Amino acid sequence: MHRRRRTALVLTAAIAAAAPLLTACGNDARPGAAAVVGGQRITVSELERRVDEVRAAQRAAVRNDAQYQQAIAATGTLTRDTLHTLVLDRVLHRAAQDAGVTVTRREIQQMRTGLEQQAGGAKALETAWLQQYGIPPQRLDENLRLQLEAQKLAEKLGTDTSRPDFWKALSKASEKLNVDLNPRYGTWDVQKSSRVDAKTPWVRDVTAAQAQRTT
């Protein structure tokens, strides 16, 4: 499982810099949009739906409220991680396209089958991905495509996903896509292909309070 864990962690670790769900005082410069990537909007409602998917999966995977609260505490940056993932997915896909990299449905299924065998079954794999990476079962195949694109892009570049050449390709893709985050969610660092927290006094973090109200 070491190779699988390392591959997934490379990308999920890169997701670690995104801002919590924020509330702004004043007018929103991008009404309804959490981010714009390549001219396409990632709406706030889409972001919220994706967060809700994870919370619902976490709720279904535990036996009681105490365990659910522990799961929430362990994924306290879920909203920012989710937005970063949504943006990074598009950036990586563009970088893969630019390099002529494609991933087939068959390759995804083969990867999933192998991981299920290692994890001890489909349910065990889904649980592991939810607990370790915050990926709900219905998004597992999407995440595996992301992992495969990253692997194949690195191979095409003659490097690996931890090396500067790989991230340079993502940086170029970020620049081409002109990634633009709503100021409430920070900014996008093109060089690092990473979300950066906003340093503005007029935003306040309400993630924890909202999570408590949903329990």
The model's pLDDT over 30-64, given as tens digits with 9 standing for 90+, comes to 568 999 999 999 999 999 999 999 999 988 988 88
For the entire predicted model, the pTM comes to 0.75
pLDDT at 178: 94
State percent of the chain over pLDDT 90. 56
- Residues 103, 152 contacting (CB under 8 angstroms): yes
9 vs 84, which has greater pLDDT? 84
In Å, how far from its chain's centre is CA 22? 18
Domains of the chain, CATH where assigned: 2-213 (1.10.4030)
In Å, how far from its chain's centre is CA 19? 12
Of 192, 155, 207, whose CA–CA distance to 21 is shortest?
A: 207
Backbone angles phi, psi at 22, to 5 degrees: -120, 150
**Torsion-angle region of residue 135: left (phi > 0), alpha (psi -120 to 50) or beta?**
beta
3-17, 75-89, 171-185: which range is least confident on average? 3-17
- Residues 84, 194 contacting (CB under 8 angstroms): yes
- Residues 37, 91 contacting (CB under 8 angstroms): yes
29 vs 98, which has greater pLDDT? 98
75-89, 131-145, 166-180: which range is least confident on average? 75-89
Helices of type H across the chain: 2-14, 44-61, 65-74, 78-98, 105-119, 122-133, 140-157, 164-177, 207-213
What is the end-to-end Cα distance of the chain in Å, rounded? 34
pLDDT at 46: 95
CA dihedral 56, 58, 60, 65 (to 10 degrees): -110
- Residues 125, 113 contacting (CB under 8 angstroms): no
